[in-house]
Every structure is written in C-alpha cells, then in structure tokens.
Amino acid sequence: MALKVALQLPSFSSLEFEATGRLVTTYSADRAVIGGAQAFSQAYDEVSQGAEQESLLLGAPVPEQDDPRYDAVVVSDYNTQSLSQEDWAKNRTKVMETAKDWRLLLQLSVPGWMQDSGEGTVYFLIRDKDLQDRAFERVVAVYQQT
C-alpha cells in the first residue's frame, strides 16, 4: 500500500456537497429537468463516478449511504445507533451542524481490507477537539453498505 494525493468531487451525500448550498441547488435543479437536458448533473455523475477510493486517509468521506459524520453525531450525542424518522426530523439541523465538527481519519473498503467476499465500508471519525487533544479513544467507527 502506498499513499498518494488525490482530488475528488464531493459525493452527493456528503457535507461538502451541501457546504454552500449552491452545488446542491444547481445539481437538484438540473436533475428536475425532464428529458435529456440534464447536462450538469449528468456530467457531474460521470466525472465523479469511479472516484471512490479503496481506502482514504483523511479528507472527505465517500459515503455509501449518507455522510458517516451524521452517524457519528447520532451515536455520540444521542447514544443510539439511529434516530426515528420523527427524531431525525426534529434534530436534523442540529445533527448536520454538529457533523461539521467531525473529521475522517480513515476510510476502509471491507473487501479491500479483509476479504473479497465482504462488502461495505468502515469509516473512522473523530471530533476536531478530540483530535487536537489526541483523544483517540473517542474515535467512532461507522459501517455502511449498499
């Protein structure tokens, strides 16, 4: 295994995609167009397709579902694996805002890490403050699969 620097477009379901709101607005408006005139969203999908890495060290996660930082917030702040639809609707803004305080340390593809017959991705995440304090015992692992 060797480290290499890589640039990638933010995943549709990541915090970075929604950071300013402009990208998600443009993408969503383009996707709403009926017919073959969806030039922006189709080009975005083509360029970002296949950008997923087997493993990532730092940077923005490439989620298989929603951004794993949301799960890290739910597990650490709400002491549960997931929120009900009602609780998610009630706490969505807070969860999404708090998720900005979390960083990806490492993302591992299960097939690439353990076994070819496995599936999914494991994300190791930490709060900015815990990283500064080197409190690695507070790392949260999130597993996702499609």
Contacting residues for 99 by C-beta, under 8 A, at least 6 apart? 15, 67, 69, 70, 72, 73
- For CA atoms 142, 124, 6, 21, the dihedral sign is positive
Low-confidence ranges of the chain (pLDDT < 70): 1-3, 12, 35-37, 48-54, 112-117
User: What pLDDT is stored for residue 113 in this prediction?
Assistant: 65
The model carries a pTM of 0.76
Query: Distance between CA atoms of 102 and 134, rounded to whole angstroms?
Result: 14
User: How many CB atoms within 10 Å of residue 17?
Assistant: 20
pLDDT tens readout for residues 19-58: 777 887 888 888 777 766 677 777 777 776 655 556 778 8
Beta strands in the chain (DSSP E): 55-57, 102-109, 121-127, 140-144
